[in-house]
């Protein structure tokens, strides 16, 4: 338990500080502040809103909780879950910057309006938050990651808060009402597409791993000769995903192959190899 900071009034009412944690060189989710569960246990993003974010990130990117990182704009819980005051945020700014330097994220997800306005700065004007977020995401989908704001040299994607009160509501668009959750998923999907996380968040074993490696290698040779980063895969019961990185940063191909959970290891291995090595090289994803 850490309680060695008295830089602001939040030190008077917290149980403990909640430090940033998680994987380096991945997605960094930055929220507003710890909630009651986080304050009690000293672990970030474990309350209801944090669990929602974890499920959404895992469903869209394949990354489990240990495959991405977490921080807040303040490390201590404000009383009664109020929004942190500006001076409290300023007191924690250096610690947040230290966490970003340490975690070295490929992209930052600013979760909720408080984090979004701090990290996006002047790019988010006064007024309704969600329509501005929607426009920023749409702009990045069209123009690439250079359309996103920078914080400490990292691209920032703002998104809605994942609390049940916000996530399950709607917001107004020119085409009518849209679910806030859909906008949040757009942000996570953009993070995954523009900043693919290399490595293996899911590990395959035995025949499955061997077949998947062979299939990825065979597909890579056909897909993009001269790529400078190579091919890697994400395996998870239910699907296997291939990512191919090319010469130009941000350009990649993505393929997902559904796998029946009823298959045994040998059947999965044969299916992966036979199916993946013959995938057509079409539908390039080039958002960035």
Q: Give residue-wise pLDDT tens across range 17-39.
A: 999 999 888 899 999 999 999 99
Tokens encoding 155: 């691209």
Q: What are phi and psi of 108, to 5 degrees?
A: -110, 130
CA 31 to chain centre: 12
* CATH superfamily for domain 9-194: Uracil-DNA glycosylase-like domain (3.40.470.10)
Looking at residue 226, what is its pLDDT? Answer: 41
Between 215 and 225, whose confidence is greater? 215
Judge whether 26 and 106 are in contact, CB under 8 Å: yes
In a 3-state reduction of DSSP, which class is residue 205? coil
**Dihedral sign, Cα of residue 155, residue 158, residue 163, residue 168:** negative
Between strands 252-258 and 239-245, the pairing is antiparallel
Tokens encoding 215: 């299939």
Looking at residue 153, what is its pLDDT? Answer: 93
pTM: 0.70
Interatomic CA distance for residues 140 and 136, integer angstroms: 6
| Side-chain half-sphere CA neighbours of 179 within 13 A | 9
CA 90 to chain centre: 25
Q: Is the pLDDT of residue 256 over 80?
A: no
Query: b/e string for 89-125 if b means 16 or more Cβ within 10 A?
Result: bebbeebbeebbeebebbbbbbbbbbbbbbbbeebbe
The confidence band for 253, taking pLDDT boundaries of 50, 70 and 90, is: very low
Q: What is the mean pLDDT of the chain?
A: 78
CA dihedral of 186, 252, 244, 268, whole degrees rounded to 10: 30
Looking at residue 27, what is its pLDDT? Answer: 94
What whole-number percentage of the chain has pLDDT above 70?
A: 67
Give helix 206-223 / helix 265-276 axis angle, nearest 10°. 0
Q: Is the pLDDT of residue 203 over 60?
A: no
Between 270 and 112, whose confidence is greater? 112
Q: Is the pLDDT of residue 224 over 80?
A: no
Judge whether 121 and 151 are in contact, CB under 8 Å: yes
CA dihedral of 257, 258, 262, 263, whole degrees rounded to 10: -10
In a 3-state reduction of DSSP, which class is residue 70? strand
CA 135 to chain centre: 19
Between 198 and 177, whose confidence is greater? 177
Judge whether 41 and 17 are in contact, CB under 8 Å: no
Judge whether 194 and 139 are in contact, CB under 8 Å: no
- Nearest of 43, 167, 165, 161 to residue 111 by alpha carbon: 161
Q: Is the pLDDT of residue 232 over 80?
A: no
């Amino acid at each position: 338990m850490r309680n060695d900071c008295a830089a602001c009034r939040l030190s008077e009412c917290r149980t403990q500080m909640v430090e940033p944690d998680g994987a380096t060189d991945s997605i960094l989710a930055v929220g507003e502040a710890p909630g009651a569960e986080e304050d009690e246990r000293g672990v970030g993003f474990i309350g209801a809103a944090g669990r929602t974010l974890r499920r959404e990130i895992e469903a869209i990117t394949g990354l489990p909780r240990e495959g991405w990182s977490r921080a807040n704009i303040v490390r201590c819980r404000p009383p009664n879950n109020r929004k942190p005051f500006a001076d409290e945020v300023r007191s924690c700014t250096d610690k947040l910057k230290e966490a970003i330097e340490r975690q070295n994220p490929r992209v930052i997800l600013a979760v909720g309006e408080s984090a979004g306005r701090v990290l996006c700065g002047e790019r988010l004007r006064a007024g309704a938050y969600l329509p501005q977020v929607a426009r920023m995401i749409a702009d990045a989908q069209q123009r690439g990651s250079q359309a996103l704001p920078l914080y400490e040299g990292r691209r920032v994607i703002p998104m809605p808060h994942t609390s049940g009160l916000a996530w399950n509501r709607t917001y107004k668009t020119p085409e009518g009402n849209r679910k806030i959750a859909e906008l949040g998923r757009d942000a996570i999907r953009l993070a995954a597409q523009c900043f693919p996380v290399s490595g293996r968040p899911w590990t395959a074993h035995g025949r499955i791993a061997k077949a998947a490696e062979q299939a990825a290698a065979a597909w890579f040779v056909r897909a993009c000769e001269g790529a400078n980063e190579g091919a890697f895969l994400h395996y998870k019961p239910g699907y296997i995903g291939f990512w191919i990185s090319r010469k130009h940063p941000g350009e990649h191909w993505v393929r997902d192959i559904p796998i029946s959970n009823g298959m045994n290891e040998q059947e999965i291995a044969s299916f992966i190899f036979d199916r993946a090595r013959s995938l057509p090289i079409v539908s390039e994803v080039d958002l960035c």
